[in-house]
Amino acid sequence: MQYEKTVDQLTESNNLNSLKLIKISPCKQFHTLEEKPLYTTRFLHVEKFHEPGLAPVYDKTGAYHINLKGEAAYTKRFSKTHGFYCGRAAVEDEARCYHIDSHANRVYKQSYQWVGNYQENICVVRKSNKFYHIDLHGNKLYQEAYDYVGDFKDDIAVVYKDGKSTHINPQGKLIHNKWYKQLGIFHKGFAIAEDNNGWFHVDIVGNAIYLQRYKTIEPFYNGLAMVKAYDDTLGQIDTTGNIKFVISLPELEAQIHKISAELAGFWKTYLINVAIELDLLNILPATTELLSKQLGIIEPNLQRLLRALWEIELISYNQNKDLWQVLPKGEFLKNSSFLPQATKMWARVATEKNWLKITGLLKQKTIYSFASFKEQETALKIEFYQALIGYTKLDTREFYNKINIADNTNILLFGIHSLALIETLSNKDKNSINLNYYNDQEIPEELIKNYNVSLITQDNLAKNYDLSIFCRFLQNHDDEKVIFYLRLAKDKKITRILLIETILTDNSPIGGAVDINIMVETGGKLRKLNDWEAILTQVGDLKISDVLPLTDYLSVIDIRYQ
């Protein structure tokens, strides 16, 4: 038959490019060439042929590889087999994973939890729940082990560690030491990347090549890349990040629903707050009847609340058992060290009368700062403060790695957010570090007792501090008050000041909504870098030495006494 001659020709000529002509049958039980069966045998499952002319198959005897004639390439059987790459195939045998050659011989002694396929003579493996790369002989290429690693392409691979990703070379060296939420491999000099604001492209040194961010993004293809904007517009961008061609616009109805959801966003705030107030998440799982008795809410009213919490994916309902259960989102909320407190805080923020007075506030030539409700609410003050500290702990995780304070031992802290740094600062040198908190807002004793810090007031303010840290503190004050605090630090001869703030820029919207919230709550404001420079000029003898980003929206301004 003609197809038998073709198989012989493929085998004799070893024309491996011709392997691409071989297809998998629709039933996935055999291979075809020119729409004809390549051989007479039938398997339970087959995969593609790869060099050196072998394909993974599975039948009742197990998993193995076949040649172009449908014959077993060797007698051994495995639990799973995969295709050949770089002369090696990944296999699984009795819960062990490793690579074999075309005769089913192991190519190295080690076994792993999982192995990938060789690319560029390098392979991804997982051992002890960590990922790294090995060479053709099973040798580890570098000392580090990561949470995940990807295949190498053009000597560059993506690696993940502690929820962030970067690029490395085959020796394990960092290509650029820029870390993002997600990264792709480089394609024509650019890689896709994701930060807290969305997707974009970075160059070979890890820098964003434009300011815009998108909902989804693809690699560049002949100078253009397809993106989906946050308004659901589909289009192609060039390397400036601007949409050059619109593929499709969002439907009018979808836009209406999106805007309406944002307008009614406060619904979720109050719904979550009710769940926290009732301690509902800690009672579940429970039936409707049991919940009704425990909460003192009649069943018809309770079902209305439960249905709403189900809709926002905090809980779910098993109709067969009449059982309400907590979903992963709800579990995360109830187990968080600060989100239950934050829920109460945001519910209170939403009631601020100044939200209805924003237009009037904006028309004032000068907005003077005032005390936030957080300082005035005595009953919930501790919970509000715990929420603020929790957020800042999350945002300042990189403080220790990015800020060198080795020479600073007597530190003065300003603002409730600065308490989030105490654990990090204390770990620097437990024997010599002296932490002091400027207590001008009468922090509750019950809260401060958990922190190794001395309370200082203006009356007993010493002159021997070598570092002061203002953490999200000056943002709550007008310029006049900011100048007062900075002069206070200067007059005490504090030679170094760290401001932890969100810095506004003209080319990005980041911080805009937070800035309005600060205005509503305290009359304060976020500032641009040149605003800080102008304030320091008024204070005198203080100058910005460096600006170091902690996140996409929070930076440390390092100020030195001149």
Euclidean distance between CA atoms 299 and 11, whole angstroms: 75
Q: What is the pLDDT confidence band of residue 355, given thresholds at 50, 70 and 90? A: very high
How is residue 76 written in tokens? 């051994």
Q: Residue 523 has what pLDDT?
A: 94
Q: What is the pLDDT confidence band of residue 17, given thresholds at 50, 70 and 90? A: low
Tens digits of residue pLDDT in 478-495: 999 999 999 999 999 999
Q: Residue 95 has what pLDDT?
A: 78
pTM comes to: 0.74
Euclidean distance between CA atoms 11 and 492, whole angstroms: 86
Residue position matching structure tokens 């079902």: 303
Residue 440: pLDDT above 80?
no
Sheet of 123-127, strands arranged across: 114-115, 123-127, 130-134
The predicted model gives 363-391 an average pLDDT of 86
Instruction: Provide the mean pLDDT of the chain.
Output: 92
Question: From start to end of 102-251, where are the E strands?
Answer: 114-115, 123-127, 130-134, 148-149, 157-161, 164-168, 182-183, 191-195, 198-202, 216-217, 225-228, 234-237, 243-248
Q: Residue 98 has what pLDDT?
A: 98
Please name each of the domains of the chain with its CATH number: 1-107 (no CATH), 264-335 (1.10.10.10), 361-561 (3.40.50.150)
Euclidean distance between CA atoms 103 and 551, whole angstroms: 52
Residue 499: pLDDT above 90?
yes
Q: Residue 285 has what pLDDT?
A: 97
What percent of the chain shows pLDDT beyond 90?
78
Give the chain's length.
562
**CA-CA-CA-CA torsion sign (273, 275, 281, 283):** positive
Q: Contact, 417 vs 390, CB < 8 A? A: no
Residue 430: pLDDT above 60?
no
Q: Any residues with CB less than 8 A from the CB of 492 and at least 6 apart, and which?
A: 412, 461, 462, 463, 465
Q: Residue 2 has what pLDDT?
A: 42
Residue 7: pLDDT above 70?
no
Helices (H), 312-436: 328-335, 339-349, 358-362, 373-376, 381-395, 399-402, 422-428
The answer to whether the peptide bond before residue 250 is cis (omega within 30 degrees of 0) is no
Maximum CA pair distance of the chain?
A: 102
Q: Residue 200 has what pLDDT?
A: 97
Neighbouring C-beta atoms of residue 242, cutoff 10 Å: 10
Q: Residue 37 has what pLDDT?
A: 94
Q: Contact, 485 vs 477, CB < 8 A? A: yes
46 — alpha (psi -120 to 50), left (phi > 0) or beta?
Answer: beta
Provide the pairing of β-strand 234-237 with 243-248. Answer: antiparallel
Q: Contact, 473 vs 489, CB < 8 A? A: no
The predicted model gives 111-117 an average pLDDT of 97
Q: Residue 1 has what pLDDT?
A: 39
